[in-house]
A = this chain, B = another copy of it.
Amino acid sequence: MDFLQQSFTVRFQYRVFFTSHLFDTSNLLLRDFLQEQAQDGAIKKLLFVIDEEVASHHPQLEQQIEEYCSAMPAYALAAIVPVTGGEEVKNSDADFQTLLDAINKCGIDRHSYVVAIGGGSVLDMAGYASAVAHRGVRHIRIPTTVLSQNDSGVGVKNSMNYFGKKNFLGTFAPPVAVFNDTHFLTTLSERDWRSGISEAVKVALIKDAAFFRWLEENAAAMMARDMDAMHYHIKRCAELHLQHIASGDPFEMGSARPLDFGHWSAHKLEQLTDFSVRHGEAVALGIALDSTYSYLSGKLDEPSLRRILSLLEALGFELMHPLLEVADAQNALLQGLTEFREHLGGRLTVTLLKEIGVGDEVHQMEPRMIIRASRWLQEYCLKEQKKDTR
Q: Give residues in A with beta carbon < 8 Å to B.
A: 1-19, 29, 40-42, 100-101, 104, 107, 109-112, 131-137, 154, 157, 159, 162-163, 165, 167-174, 235, 238-239, 242, 245-246, 250-252, 255, 341-347
Query: How far, in whole Å, are A7 and B159 apart by their CA atoms in the complex?
Result: 22
Residues in chain B near residue A167, CB distance under 8 A: 135
- Which 7 residue pairs across A and B have the least CB separation, nearest first? A109-B345, A111-B345, A111-B346, A110-B345, A8-B246, A2-B18, A135-B170
Which of B10, B13, B135 is the one whose CB lies under 8 Å from A157? B135
Query: How far, in whole Å, are A42 and B14 apart by their CA atoms in the complex?
Result: 37
Query: How far, in whole Å, are A245 and B8 apart by their CA atoms in the complex?
Result: 8
In the bound complex, do residue A235 and residue B6 qualify as a contact, i.e. CB atoms below 8 Å apart?
Answer: no
Q: A294 CB to closest chain B CB, in angstroms?
A: 24
In the bound complex, do residue B110 and residue A346 qualify as a contact, i.e. CB atoms below 8 Å apart?
Answer: yes
In the bound complex, do residue B1 and residue A7 qualify as a contact, i.e. CB atoms below 8 Å apart?
Answer: no
| Chain B residue at smallest Cβ distance from A4 | B16
Given contacts A109-B342, A135-B167, is CB(A4)–CB(B10) below 8 Å? no
**Sampled A-B contacts (24; CB under 8 Å):** A1-B17, A2-B19, A4-B154, A6-B14, A6-B242, A7-B13, A8-B12, A8-B246, A10-B10, A10-B250, A100-B169, A101-B163, A109-B343, A110-B343, A111-B346, A132-B170, A133-B168, A133-B169, A134-B170, A135-B157, A135-B159, A135-B171, A135-B252, A171-B171
Q: A129 CB to closest chain B CB, in angstroms?
A: 10
| Chain B residue at smallest Cβ distance from A165 | B104
Residues in chain B near residue A131, CB distance under 8 A: 171
Q: A234 CB to closest chain B CB, in angstroms?
A: 11
Q: A104 CB to closest chain B CB, in angstroms?
A: 5
In the bound complex, do residue A168 and residue B17 qualify as a contact, i.e. CB atoms below 8 Å apart?
Answer: no
Which of B7, B18, B111, B345 is the one whose CB lies under 8 Å from A112? B345
Query: How far, in whole Å, are A137 and B163 apart by their CA atoms in the complex?
Result: 16
Query: How far, in whole Å, are A157 and B136 apart by their CA atoms in the complex?
Result: 11
Choose among A9, A16, A19, A41 the residue with the greatest number of B CB atoms under 10 Å from its CB.
A9
Residues in chain B near residue A18, CB distance under 8 A: 2-3
Choose among A15, A40, A111, A173 the residue with the greatest number of B CB atoms under 10 Å from its CB.
A111
Query: How far, in whole Å, are A112 and B347 apart by their CA atoms in the complex?
Result: 12
Choose among A8, A104, A134, A136 the residue with the greatest number of B CB atoms under 10 Å from its CB.
A8
Which of B101, B104, B162 is the one whose CB lies under 8 Å from A100? B162
| Chain B residue at smallest Cβ distance from A110 | B345
In the bound complex, do residue B7 and residue A10 qualify as a contact, i.e. CB atoms below 8 Å apart?
Answer: no
